[in-house]
Structure 1
Amino acid sequence: MVLGTTALGAAKSIENMEISHNVSHGQWDWMNDPEIHSSTWEWDQVGPSSQWKYAHNFRHHKYTNVLGMDEDVGFGVMRVTRDQEWRPIHLLQPIQNLLLAASFEWGIALHDLLPPSAEDKASRRLRPPVRDLLGKIARQMGKDYVLFPVLSGRRWRRTLKANLVANLLRNVWSYVVIFCGHFPDGAEKFTLAELEHENRAEWYLRQMLGTANFRAGAVMAFMSGNLCYQIEHHLFPDLPSNRYAEISTAVRGLCEKYDLPYTTGSLARQYLLTLRTIHKLALPNRFLRATSDDAPETASEVKFRGRSALGADPVTGRLRGLRTALAAR
């Protein structure tokens, strides 16, 4: 039973991360296969793909790590940057973090649901997005916790437990991969003011600065949907994920050429840094030493004023960029 449950958890992780996430980005639309197409694919979790595609493909990828625009910043329940106003509820976020990890598919489903408009609030009818969500929940719960156990006959309890544990394993793994892509040290957060007059080149720069990779071999890369290459994914979200390892060499080369940070590390390190941020920011800013100008999880241009590391290197004559400035803090 343990082996079968683990295999099911792995299969659900692969379906969500490597297949559904990437298919929904349109990475395989070029094949013109109606069964593997972003317009028709429905994934194996409680949230409807259509709602996720708007919240993720549009809001998150266009406004990556911008407070007030990207709902993935803390997923609406956690404070992950000092730019976010502290509220007493944040004292509980170490516990909220554990609950979110265990129920990650539910967190995604609820966070993808758009808030009701004034017209919606005035009406007593269920909004179409709510109906869609409830319908998907019923189908998903019916499949995992009613249909498959019934088909198992007298072993229905074992099947029910296996599905519960497999979904838990998938939720925790997805949570770890996603959080390590945007919340370790070095993954910058941004304010609305920084979007003003942003051109296309600056958009690409924000994608690079707002994301983080983790080192992975072929198996872990596959299990994570190749989101160990989160930087490359945000630069080219509709590029087939099996190409990210190849282009990562070129992306790192550009970062080296222009002295830009390329944030990466082991999965364990990136996750521990993420946990540190979540636990530290449960406290008000007055209990923290760093500010939003010079914190590990975010910084501003104020941090670099008067720094000698800026400008050209007096020995080589090479212009020094953001990576050198960050290292000199």
Structure 2
Amino acid sequence: MAISDIKEYSHLSSRDVEELSRELDSIRREVTDSLGAADAAYIRRTIAFQRMLDTAARLLIVGSRTTTGWSLGTTALAAAKSIENMEIGHNVSHGQWDWMNDPEIHSTNWEWDMAGLSSQWRYSHNYRHHMFNNVVGMDEDLGFGVIRVTRDQPWQPNHLLQPLRNLLLAATFEWGIALHGLYSERARAGTDTEKSTYTRALLGKIARQAGKDYLFFPILSGRRWRRTLKANITANLLRNLWAYIVIFCGHFPDGAEKFTLAELEHESRAEWYLRQMLGTANFRAGKVMAFMSGNLCYQIEHHLFPDLPSNRYAEISTMVRALCEKFDLPYTTGSLAWQYLLVLRTVHKLALPDWFLTASADDAPETASELKFRPAGDQPAGAARIGLRTAQRTPPVTPHGIHRPRRSERDG
């Protein structure tokens, strides 16, 4: 099932893991020490560009009298919302720009342009998700409570509907995130009064957000209010679909491993680093797509350094890749289309009961554990060990020394 011993799974000794941690700490120091005016200018330019794009899109929507003009305006509005949510709101809320000491661009002050409250999201995401990334039973982002993404999550009859749930979650992603944040806050609340306070706070944000998109701007458009209302609904839908794809491709394709609660016992900072590297996935993107995704095409780098500015992830990725080469670790990436196809395969496959599945529960594309490397029992003491990346490409050896394909290679 999921990984319970990350050192065994990764084929690294305690000394190797500590050395990897020192190298990652060195990357952090190098980037932190180099932060300066160019980085501050980047986020300020991004905010200014997003606001200008939002304004221009809304003027085009209400001012144009053609379908083409409406389509261009709506697409631009969806892009502006995506930039605000991902490259600005998400990253600001992670504290990536707190070092600037600018009250406007501080994690405690930014309220993003979507239904959920930033304050509630920061607990469910910054803490619960990033601290316990892909740990079954701790990370509430693992399938967001509605999608089964690992065999460690017991199958239930309602999972047969998860292909439809997946479509619904994609279309309403901002609302799913809002309810997800509220659920986390209510779960940690000590009293019913606190729970009610969190609920009222979210309802207030929803009222403000819905009022802005579906009342204020349509009313401001006068007789063309239907045109504006339809554009806002469409832009929100497009933004939701894009955010959903980016997030799912960073966490649920093949190679984004899952972990058991046992892995958290006595977990060191060094092992936390390693879990982030093995529990996330990237997708290849040019500069425009990287910007539009909030640089979450570099999900591995983001999980290693969630509070470092996103505009530095591209350069960090070259250093992380070099470390993966050095320690023979996989650097999980692929095209956006390919990563999403892998996600869809997992979503549809795990909608079925386990008895319909053929690959081993310890060596399936979406679920693996250290047991996949023990086809003939535990490795003898003192035996030479190869790295994880090489081990994943090498068929296991039977007790008679004959290589045989793993079940996942035979059955898919």
TM-score using structure 2 length:
0.75
2:388 alignment counterpart: 322
How much has 1:306 moved relative to structure 2?
Answer: 4.5
CA distance in 1, matches of 2:107, 2:302: 16
* Aligned residues of 1:73 and 1:80 also touching (Cα < 8 A): yes
Aligned position for 2:173: 104
Q: Secondary structure at the match of 2:223?
A: helix
Match of 1:169 in 2: 238
Cα separation, 2, equivalents of 1:200 and 1:301: 20
Question: What secondary structure is seen at the aligned counterpart in 1 of 2:103?
Answer: coil
Residue in 1 aligned with 2:262? Answer: 193
Q: For each residue in 1:90-136, what CA deviation from the matched residue of structure 2 results, as whole angstroms up to 9, or x when unmatched?
A: 00000000000000000001111134579756x7x961110110000
One-letter identity of the residue aligned with 1:37: H
Give the letter aligned to residue 109 of structure 1: A
In the TM superposition, residue 232 of structure 1 has moved relative to its aligned partner by 0.3
Q: Distance in 1 between matches of 2:359 and 2:219?
A: 56
Distance 1:126 1:186 in 2: 37
Q: 2:346 aligns with which of 273, 277, 302?
A: 277
Equivalence for 2:279: 210
Q: Is the 8 A contact 1:81 1:292 kept in 2?
A: no
Q: 1:257 to 1:130 in 2, by over 3 A?
A: same
C-alpha contact 1:285 1:291 (8 A) present in aligned 2: no
Over 3 Å counting, the alpha-carbon distance change for 1:218 and 1:147 in structure 2 is same
Residue type at the aligned position of 1:214: F
Q: Which of 136, 142, 151 pairs up with 2:220?
A: 151
Which of 132, 135, 145 is 2:204 aligned to? 135
- Residue 193 and residue 149 in structure 1: after superposition, are their counterparts in 2 closer, same or farther (change >3 A)? same
Cα deviation 1:141-183 (Å, max 9, x = unaligned): 0000000000000000000000000000000000000000000
Tell me the residue number matched to 1:4: 73
Aligned residues: 321
Partners of 1:145 and 1:169 in 2: CA distance: 16
Once the 2 structures are TM-superposed, how far is the Cα of residue 88 of structure 1 from its aligned partner? 0.6
Relative distance call for 1:31 and 1:126 in structure 2 (3 A) is closer
Please give the per-residue CA displacement for 1:60-82, whole angstroms capped at 9, x wherever unaligned: 00000011111110000010001
CA shift for structure 1 position 291: 3.2
Return the match for 1:241 from 299, 303, 310.
310
Q: Specify the alignment match of 1:219 in structure 2.
A: 288
Q: Distance in 2 between matches of 1:64 and 1:141?
A: 31
> Are the aligned partners of 2:189 and 2:195 in contact in 1 as well (CA < 8 Å)?
no
- Look at both structures and tell me which one has the larger radius of gyration over its CA atoms: 2
Residues 126 and 68 of structure 1, relative CA distance in 2, 3 Å threshold: closer
Retained in 1: the 8 A contact 2:115–2:206?
yes
1:43 maps to what in 2?
112
The residue number in structure 1 matching 2:93 is: 24
Q: Which runs of 4+ in 1 moved over 3 A?
A: 115-121
User: Pairwise CA RMSD of aligned residues?
Assistant: 1.9
CA offsets 1:238-275 (integer angstroms, 9 cap, x no match): 11001000011110000011100110000000000000
Q: Distance in 2 between matches of 1:299 and 1:8?
A: 41
Instruction: Give, as a single letter, the amino acid of the residue that structure 1 aligns with 2:275.
Output: R
Q: Secondary structure at the match of 2:339?
A: helix
Preserved contact between residue 181 and residue 213 of structure 1 (Cα < 8 Å): yes
Is the contact between residue 24 and residue 53 of structure 1 (CA under 8 Å) also seen in structure 2? yes
Moved more, 65-74 or 298-307: 298-307
Q: Is residue 261 of structure 1 aligned with residue 330 of structure 2?
A: yes
Is contact 1:82–1:291 with CA below 8 Å preserved after alignment? Answer: no
1:289 aligns with 2:358: yes
Q: How far apart are the structure 2 equivalents of 1:126 and 1:278?
A: 32
Q: Which has the higher helix share?
A: 2
1:91·1:282 contact (CA, 8 Å) conserved in 2?
Answer: yes
What does residue 23 of structure 2 align with? none
Structure 2 residue matching 1:166: 3-state secondary structure: helix
Deviation of 1:218 after TM superposition, in Å, equals 0.2
Aligned partners of 2:176 and 2:361: how far apart in 1?
A: 27
- What CA distance in whole angstroms lies between the structure 1 residues aligned with 2:172 and 2:223? 28
- Taking the aligned partners of 2:73 and 2:327, their CA distance within structure 1 comes to 49
Displacement of 1:198 in angstroms is 1.0
| 8 Å contact from structure 1 (residues 5, 163) kept in 2 | yes
Compute the displacement of 1:292 (Å). Answer: 2.7
Q: Is the 8 A contact 1:149 1:160 kept in 2?
A: yes
Cα deviation 1:283-302 (Å, max 9, x = unaligned): 01111012331111121111
What's the TM-score once normalised by structure 1's chain length?
A: 0.94
**Once the 2 structures are TM-superposed, how far is the Cα of residue 191 of structure 1 from its aligned partner?**
1.1
For structure 2, the 5+ residue unaligned runs are 1-69, 396-412
